[in-house]
Amino acid sequence: MKGFAMLGPNKTGFIEKEDPKVGSRDALVRPLAVAPCTSDIHTVFEDALGPRENMILGHEACGEIVEVGSEVKDFKVGDRVLIPAITPNWSDVYSQAGYATDSDGMLGGWKFSNIKDGVFATRIHVNDADGNLALLPKEIEPAEACMLSDMIPTGLHASEMAGVTFGDTVAVIGIGPVGLMALRGAVLHGAGRVFAVGSREKTVEVAKKYGATDIVDYHNGRISDQILEATNGQGVDKVLIAGGNAADTFEEAVRMLKPGGSIGNVNYLNGHDDVVFNAGDWGVGMAHKTIHGGLMPGGRLRMEKLAQLVVNGRIDPSLLITHRFEGFEKISDAIELMHHKPADLIKPVVIC
Ligand code: NDP
Ligand code: ZN
């Protein structure tokens, strides 16, 4: 098979590899469309995970099944499927404990482009096919289906973790594609006022379409100052973090959070950094301000349910897709775009 890989730190390119072997519970899928993620950029160019050599990148795709293992019950060759970025081992005890993303070790549910070859390949190996794949509804076109691999489940997970509920005032730090889906998740969970923190015109325009009531540009002073002022010093009930870095966003989030409030972080921080915030802003450790951080949960049931949000018009993923490429070999152009993030970019997709 052919794949677009991280050859080593800061180096990418196409490589040839043997087709993956299909175990009894696995499936092999040919991609219909794939999309690069900011996480691919953190991995290749920012040493966020540690070194990887000749590892095929990518974890956002949909495709058509070309082979299934002997024990796969619910999928067959020719089925068009949604492929989640996170493909846990559903037999692991961590899955039984409710933390499937940490099956096979901490963050071990994240296999594609982390501990095995990713989806930027002409053949995609999916472990535990019955547990991880979901049928691609006919109403969803392949480019939009790619938004169900990672952007929709990750963004929504931020609002789930924070526990957004009716009438909450919510701040969303970072409104790239993940933050935009976090914002949409907050709106769907019944948030009242929603602050979107970002600066690029294109993302601000889409944030308003997804339901942001207020826009905050983090270049115009401290985020917490701006939001505390806008809320008469009250602050917010929930903060969703999907951008910025460990050193400055948590400080802002804890500072503007009301006592009893909570933070849902889905930002992929650099493993070499410290998370910093002031103990006084945390009520000297006693103000019941809670920080949650998580990988997007995978799983077939969740994917099927999230697909219903798209099919029934609750989430319009087309607003996220600003750049479309045709042809597998265009993956390198899409990664390049993601690396340099022009102002008009939200998300590129490659139709294979
Ligand atoms: P983008 O780079 O597209 O968006 C980042 C956003 O953060 C932009 O809106 C940007 O603003 C804003 N931002 C940048 N610096 C700051 C700052 N100092 N303070 C406040 N806001 C800031 O990223 P994505 O949406 O693609 O991804 C977001 C994060 O989610 C990434 O770290 C990614 O790796 C991670 N991720 C996590 C997953 C999980 O399962 N937990 C899965 C997928 C992704 P501006 O408008 O100026 O550009
Ligand atoms: Zn990702």
The pocket of ion ligand 2, defined by CB under 5 A, consists of 37, 39, 150
Cα–Cα dist 94/38, whole Å: 27
Phi, psi of 143 (to 5 degrees): -60, -45
Return the pLDDT at 114: 94
| Helices (H), ranges, the chain | 38-45, 93-96, 129-132, 142-145, 151-162, 177-188, 201-210, 223-230, 249-256, 300-311, 331-340
**Centroid of ligand 2 to alpha carbon of 38 (angstroms):** 6
Q: Measured from the CA of 266, which atom of ligand 1 is nearest?
A: 41
pLDDT tops 90 at residue 214: yes
Round to whole Å and give the CA distance between 27 and 45: 31
pLDDT-derived band at 163 (thresholds 50, 70, 90) equals very high
Residue 295 has pLDDT above 90, yes or no: yes
**CA–centroid distance, residue 244 to ligand 1 (Å):** 6
pLDDT confidence tier of residue 51, bands split at 50, 70 and 90 = confident
For the CA of 203, the closest atom of ligand 1 is 46
Q: What domains does the chain contain, in order, with CATH numbers?
A: 2-150+296-351 (3.90.180.10), 155-293 (3.40.50.720)
**Which residue's C-alpha comes closest to atom 23 of ligand 1?**
176
pLDDT for 223 equals 98
pLDDT score recorded for residue 140: 98
pLDDT, residue 272, reads: 87
Judged against a pLDDT cut of 90, whether residue 271 lies above it is answered with no
- pTM for the full model? 0.97
pLDDT 10s digits, 68-85: 999 999 999 999 999 999
Q: Based on the number of CB atoms within 10 Å of its own CB, is 304 exposed (0-12), middle (13-18) or buried (19 or more)?
A: middle
Of the candidates 122, 114, 90, 101, which has an alpha carbon nearest to the alpha carbon of residue 329?
A: 122
Give the pLDDT band of residue 43 (cuts 50, 70, 90).
very high
Q: What is the ipTM of this complex?
A: 0.98
**How confident is the model at residue 93, as a pLDDT?**
97
